[in-house]
Amino acid sequence: MNEILTLKNLKVHYPIRSGFFNRVTDNVYAVDGIDLTINEGETVGLVGESGSGKTTIGKTIVGLENMTSGEMIYKGQDISKKSTRNKLKYNKDVQMIFQDSMSSLNPRKNIYDIISEPIRNFEKLDPISERQRVNDLLDIVGLPQQTLSQYPHQFSGGQRQRIGIARAVATNPKLIVADEPVSALDLSVQAQVLNFMKQIQKEMGIAFLFISHDLGVVRHMTDNIAVMHYGRIVEKGSREAIFNDPKHIYTKRLLSAIPSIDVSKRQENKANRLQVEKTFEEQKYLFYDKDGRALPLKKIGEMHWAALPEGGTK
Ligand SMILES: Nc1ncnc2c1ncn2[C@@H]1O[C@H](COP(=O)(O)OP(=O)(O)OP(=O)(O)O)[C@@H](O)[C@H]1O
């Protein structure tokens, strides 16, 4: 498989300023040394609880945040500098879908203008070809042509997310960062949008970085998974490795929190969750350094890395 994007020791720190002179007194280590590879056409899941740094990674990939240090390699070329990105048409090839479709779609623009904007930014099409392309995109996301003159507030959440997807795929991207794309939607609509994203991926060969706090959704969508905690990856590997053979206590904790659909197993699951929680509290000092950051990742299997303590655990 060909690598499309590789992050090497990526750090994004936000300065904290205080005092009369507004000096930098500390940093938020939002992303603190991440190594991650996304291959062509595959979906990588980035999971972790709120504040673990997932969105910051997504925004840095699409250029909405600046990296503090590290490297981003796109198709073998270092794109840490903006000038190289422009040369490689990186901003055309890498797009983002946001969680909140209401605030990520301009309320004053109609759907035609929203979908055609990226086409105008990156390709100069004559008006007839542009119209045809927008019509095709609307067909792809399953919305009727008469919606083109309407505005975002006239749609349901699921429909707005489809519009966001049409905008993201308008430039024929190679990679889409999807940041919690369905967490604002009702469960029934979530499944529709997810299946639809999978279908588009298959048809267009797009790679996804799928950001979510919901491991159930990630299981449905991804090939490989990275689990983040406090700005670092604590475990990464194939979906099977993460779900069937988790090694880090934080991954085990996240997995134990997935609600069971089977009512008869709820008691058993609750007991298991409490036990995992207890182990987490008892053993976390082994898995994190004195500043509370995860240890370096070690390769523990063909497609499996985990930030485990030197001597192992009981
Ligand atoms: N612009 C900013 N300035 C300062 N701190 C920030 C900024 N953006 C994010 N942070 C902090 O960086 C950390 C990581 O935030 P981030 O939004 O990336 O996490 P997340 O895992 O995506 O969480 P969520 O799912 O809640 O969005 C948090 O502690 C957050 O408060």
* Pairwise pLDDT comparison (124 vs 3), residue with the higher score: 3
CA 242 to chain centre: 17
Please give the average per-residue pLDDT across 11-29, as a whole number: 84
Cα–Cα distance between 304 and 173 in angstroms, integer?
A: 28
The contacts of residue 240 (CB under 8 Å, 6+ apart) are none
Residue 105 predicted with pLDDT over 90: no
**Does residue 74 contact residue 87 with C-beta atoms inside 8 Å?**
no
Residue with CA at minimum distance from ligand 1 atom 8: 56
CATH number of 3-222: 3.40.50.300
pLDDT for res 312? 59
The β-bridge partners of 288 are 294
**Ligand 1 site, residue 160, Cβ cutoff 6 A:** no
Residue 88 predicted with pLDDT over 90: no
Helix (H, G, I), strand (E, B) or coil at 199: helix
pLDDT for 226-246, tens place per residue?
999 999 999 999 999 999 999
pLDDT for 179-198, tens place per residue?
998 887 888 888 888 888 88
pLDDT for 194-210, tens place per residue?
888 888 898 889 999 99
Residue percentage of the chain with pLDDT more than 70: 99
Question: What strands, in cross-sheet order, belong to the sheet with 43-47?
Answer: 94-97, 175-179, 207-212, 43-47, 224-229, 232-238, 304-306, 298-301
Q: Is the reported ipTM for this assembly greater than 0.90? A: yes
Identify which of 10, 12, 14 to mutate to test ligand 1's pocket (most ligand atoms within 8 A of the CB): 14
Residue 102 predicted with pLDDT over 80: no
Of the candidates 39, 29, 37, 38, the one whose C-alpha atom is nearest the C-alpha of residue 69 is 29
User: What's the mean pLDDT when you consider all of the chain?
Assistant: 89
Helix (H, G, I), strand (E, B) or coil at 47: strand
Residue 101 predicted with pLDDT over 90: no
CA angle 159, 163, 169 (to 5 degrees): 140
Confidence of residue 313 (pLDDT cuts 50, 70, 90): low
pLDDT for res 309? 92
Please give the average per-residue pLDDT across 220-226, as a whole number: 92
Please give the average per-residue pLDDT across 174-179, as a whole number: 95
Helix (H, G, I), strand (E, B) or coil at 148: helix
pLDDT for res 314? 47
Can you give the residue ranges of every domain in the chain? 3-222, 247-314
Cα–Cα distance between 232 and 9 in angstroms, integer?
A: 10
Residue 304 predicted with pLDDT over 80: yes
Residue with CA at minimum distance from ligand 1 atom 14: 53
Q: How far is the CA of 58 from the centre of ligand 1 (A)?
A: 11
Q: How far is the CA of 12 from the centre of ligand 1 (A)?
A: 10
Q: How far is the CA of 116 from the centre of ligand 1 (A)?
A: 31
Residue with CA at minimum distance from ligand 1 atom 25: 50
Cα–Cα distance between 48 and 267 in angstroms, integer?
A: 25
What tokens were used for 271? 């007991």
Residues in the chain: 314
Q: How far is the CA of 258 from the centre of ligand 1 (A)?
A: 23
Q: How far is the CA of 53 from the centre of ligand 1 (A)?
A: 6
E strand or H helix at 270 = helix 266-287
Cα–Cα distance between 238 and 222 in angstroms, integer?
A: 9
**Distance set, CA 281 to CA 1, 214, 274, 294, 313 (Å):** 39, 22, 11, 15, 14
pLDDT for 118-154, tens place per residue?
998 888 889 999 999 999 988 888 888 888 999 999 9
Quick one: which atom of ligand 1 is closest to the CA of 59?
A: 18
